[in-house]
Amino acid sequence: MTSSEAGAGTGPTGGTRSYDVVVVGAGTAGCYAAATVANAGYDVVVVERKDEQEAGHIACGDALKGADAFPEAIPKSKLEPAMTNTDVDHGRFEIPQEDTVLEIPVPGELAVIDRWEYGRRIIDGADEAGAEFHYDTVVQDVRQDDDGRVTGVSAVRKGDPVTYEAEVVIDGAGSLSILQDKADLEAATFDTNVNYSQFCSAYREIVHVDEPVEWDDALVFKPTERAAGYLWYFPRTDTEINAGLGFQMTEEPMQLVDDLKRDLRDREEFAGAEVEDKLGAALPTRRPYDSAVAPGFMAVGDAAGHVNPTTGGGIAGAAYAGKYAAEAAVKGIEAGDVSEAALWEYNERVMDHFGSRYAGLDVYNILSTAVDVDDLMGLLASLPGDKLAEALYSGSTSIGWKLKLQTAIQSFGYYDVIWTFYKTKQRADDIIDHYGEYPSSPDAFDDWQARRDDLMDAVYETTGADPKY
């Protein structure tokens, strides 16, 4: 199929445009999806609501884990200039309640990036692969045929109505995507059990300081007075810091800007600092969508909950989600079948790669909403940093007898919380094991989902948390 318009800024802006694949959103998942489709020789357009100058400007913590293993659709060499700090190798948890700092090693390759520069580079990478980009394009509706298959989107581009027709639409429009509100997905397996309380509201500033910070090799985390909130300080360089604050939307709203500025004022290293950029966003702090496919339609990245719910890290997962979705789309187009069953392999690959781990980590996120913040911080201060790192990045952990004894001695007074953590770990392991048996077709999906819901009931009983889903 040949598109009826070539280039991002040529020709009329209205009318009807036909492509093999339409990708909505020029974020990480959208760009990797578009590059993968274009590299396979198919016509793909990325529709992006921002203008060309602003595209890629996204609120983010700027920490990038696993850049050494990104998909090749956009070469790593294309991204490297945006990696401004590659010397970060650990997390630094500041626990003021206990007057202590917990150092936690971070496994694998880690970098802090200039997110806007990174955003421009992945757009350039997808463009060089052959994808078209249409900026200033706001999607307003999803088009479906009489059988419910998604066949395109309706949008306004630079003020003119335009229709995009496609064999497959890939939703990379971010958290609480409008496409999922507009599409009728009730007859599909696509996860519609989504609401605002499963997300985090966040705000960040890029701050310049006069003197190099002492922790330029660390990602700094600090809890707020409530367990559901946290501050972060991620060094792009030793004098340029991404400073941010987020809270889970299960809780009463925080005054994000005021609370962040208060903490900045109290930190000596930020005296006289200048703010370069400000931005806010909503981020998933939930498990991946049970299914992110419907006939002719797939969701990727934040639009499908592809984020580590305990750290907010989602760039690497989004890149691979984009790749997997695009490969499923190409395979379906070549076979002349873009049904839910034909696209189902995308779900399987996501769950096998990172989805099961994120679902397990979501159990700890649920626990955090039910425990006392002082008890939680006291216990964290007593845990071995390497084992805590293992839990955060693998989804589960085991602690040897010597470390168990050491932890028991150091954490005297927190035995009730320790027991809850121990039981919660068992529940998380059960969830991970179950996601390892994700069905190979939609036919077994209902049974898999019912068993998972039973396991989640045990999670709520163990943690004492209110149901999240």
- Provide the greatest CA pair distance for the chain: 72
- pLDDT average, residue stretch 178-194: 97
pLDDT tier at 437, thresholds 50, 70, 90: very high
Contact 94, 78 (CB under 8 A): no
Q: Which residue has the tokens 């590059």?
A: 35
pLDDT tier at 22, thresholds 50, 70, 90: very high
Domain definitions of the chain by residue range:
15-62+117-192+288-356, 83-111+197-284, 357-463
Range scoring the smallest mean pLDDT among 97-106, 148-157, 165-174, 197-206:
97-106
pLDDT tens-digit readout, 34-58: 999 999 999 999 999 999 999 999 9
Please name the fold of domain 83-111+197-284.
D-Amino Acid Oxidase; Chain A, domain 2 (3.30.9)
pLDDT at 211 over 60: yes
Percent of the chain with pLDDT over 90: 72
Number of H helices, E strands in the chain: 14, 18
Would strands 90-95 and 83-85 be described as parallel, antiparallel, or unpaired? unpaired
Range scoring the smallest mean pLDDT among 118-122, 210-214, 247-251:
247-251
Q: Which CATH code for domain 15-62+117-192+288-356? A: 3.50.50.60
* The predicted structure's pLDDT at residue 88: 93
pLDDT tier at 97, thresholds 50, 70, 90: confident
- More confident call, 223 vs 374: 223
Would strands 110-113 and 83-85 be described as parallel, antiparallel, or unpaired? antiparallel
- Nearest Cα residue to 137 out of 126, 150, 149, 152: 152
Q: How far apart are CA 346 and CA 291, in angstroms?
A: 9
pLDDT tier at 12, thresholds 50, 70, 90: low
* The predicted structure's pLDDT at residue 121: 97
- More confident call, 216 vs 399: 216
Q: How far apart are CA 171 and CA 180, in angstroms?
A: 8
Give residue 65's identity as a one-letter amino acid code. K
- Nearest Cα residue to 366 out of 251, 459, 452: 459
CB atoms within 10 A of CB 78: 17
pLDDT tier at 4, thresholds 50, 70, 90: very low
- More confident call, 63 vs 410: 63
Contact 427, 455 (CB under 8 A): yes
Contact 388, 104 (CB under 8 A): yes
pLDDT tens-digit readout, 226-247: 656 789 999 999 999 999 998 8
Contact 428, 364 (CB under 8 A): yes
pLDDT tier at 312, thresholds 50, 70, 90: confident
Contact 183, 150 (CB under 8 A): yes
Q: How far apart are CA 140 and CA 143, in angstroms?
A: 10
* The predicted structure's pLDDT at residue 400: 46
pLDDT tens-digit readout, 354-410: 999 999 999 998 998 887 766 666 666 665 555 555 555 555 545 444 444 445 445
- DSSP-H helix ranges across 336-384: 340-343, 345-350, 356-368, 373-382
Average confidence score pLDDT of the chain: 89
pLDDT at 103 over 90: no
Contact 35, 131 (CB under 8 A): yes
* The predicted structure's pLDDT at residue 99: 80
pLDDT at 249 over 80: yes
Contact 183, 294 (CB under 8 A): yes
- More confident call, 15 vs 248: 15
Three-state secondary structure readout of 27-62: CHHHHHHHHHHHHCCCCEEEECCCCCCCCCCCCCCC
- More confident call, 106 vs 221: 221
* The predicted structure's pLDDT at residue 381: 61
Residue 313's Cβ-count burial label (10 Å; 0-12, 13-18, 19+) is buried
pLDDT at 11 over 80: no
* The predicted structure's pLDDT at residue 452: 98
* The predicted structure's pLDDT at residue 108: 76
